[in-house]
Amino acid sequence: MKVAACLIAALSSTSAFVPGSSGAFGRTQQLSETPFFVDTSDEIPESAITLATSLKQDFLEAEPYWSQDAVPVNVFKNKAPFTGQIVSTKRIVGPKATGETCHIIINHNGDFPYWEGQSWGVIPPGTREKDGKPHSVRLYSIASSRYGDDMTGKTGSLCVRRATYWCPELQAEDPAKKGICSNFLCDTSPGDEINMTGPAGKVMLMPEEDPTTDYIMVATGTGIAPFRGFVRRLFAEDTPAAAVYKGEAWLFLGVANSDALLYDDEFQLAKEQNPENFRIDYALSREQENKNGGKMYIQDKVEEYADEIFAKLDNGAHMYFCGLKGMMPGIQDMLAGVCEGKGIDYNEFIKGLKKKGQWHVEVY
């Protein structure tokens, strides 16, 4: 069965913006190979392992599986939110990372279904100081497939970076200006309750009717969240989509340094076991140089493969972007430059991709 020990281990144990089978990843992983976000001291009940390894991930599918006619949207709203429960909150970056990022698993008991590429809203507890009203909803891209890290369909995960503010006058972090929701989430403990809305959005869904479709995924930081869900669905789980997928999923991730890489162990395993169907390229701005000797940003890494990417787009590939909105101007300028070199009208080129549904952007 397409089940990894790293996913089983999650049994024991986000990007934000305001309003018949073989081993895991397609093809075998030993139970000792757990990802860095799993505390290996946790005890995993034998019953949990048996459950996770005995299920095919086909019980939350549409009919046919690729149909998007019944995608759940805004089932729970601000005035009547869903109450989930924290399973685990774990730091998933190294000591030299720029900031703290956590992987948060939430139990919804199967009562809050979602699809890969959607977001959950989180309502932090308390009220706003300025007017005493409840805090507004923050949206976080879901970082797991619809089956969750335990593959039972009863959990979902978020990838959240703790938002802090460094005060140059105090030469210290100013707690009064910290991110309300991200700090709430990163400080949660198992058993804590969390009020949630959604699921939100359809723009980042995967079109699965044609199993030869190529997916080009471009992320910065916690914008990796929806693409982790994509990779799990295609390469880590025993889903109908995984069984027939013959295209290429190509992931680009931009972070500051190696310690800031997210889910690298899972992605490397997917690449190792699916070399014909999965590729990954990193842009490490503080460790790599671009062709001009400057820092390697995400647009520079994508530009290295411009000819291949444009060929894929001409053949129907879908291109996704997720992360801080500041990533898009550099991406757009780079693509415009490539278009100019190829004698292509950039605006018409992008308009054509949007018209055919090949262009997917979710930035915050």
pLDDT digits 0-9 by tens, 34-61:
443 444 434 444 444 445 545 789 999 9
pLDDT per residue over 240-280, tens digit each? 999 999 999 999 999 999 999 999 999 999 999 999 999 99
pLDDT band at 219 (very low <50, low <70, confident <90, very high): very high
Q: How far apart are the first and last CA of the chain?
A: 37
For the chain, the maximum distance between any two Cα atoms, rounded to a whole number of angstroms, is: 62
pLDDT at 172: 60
Tell how far CA 136 is from the center of its chain. 23
Hey, what long-range contacts does 62-68 have (CB within 8 A, 24 or more apart)? 65/208, 65/239, 65/240, 65/241, 66/207, 66/208, 66/209, 66/241, 68/202, 68/205, 68/207
CA angle 302, 303, 307 (to 5 degrees): 105
pLDDT per residue over 110-159, tens digit each? 999 999 999 999 999 998 888 888 999 999 999 999 999 999 999 999 99
Axis-axis angle for helices 346-355, 327-342 (nearest 10):
110
Contact yes or no for 157/105 (Cβ under 8 A): yes
Q: Which residues have a catalytic role annotated?
A: 140-141, 322, 362, 364
> In whole angstroms, what is the distance from residue 120 CA to residue 154 CA?
15
> In whole angstroms, what is the distance from residue 322 CA to residue 364 CA?
8
pLDDT at 217 over 50: yes
> In whole angstroms, what is the distance from residue 282 CA to residue 261 CA?
9
Note the pTM of the prediction, 2 decimals: 0.86
Axis-axis angle for helices 327-342, 306-314 (nearest 10):
80
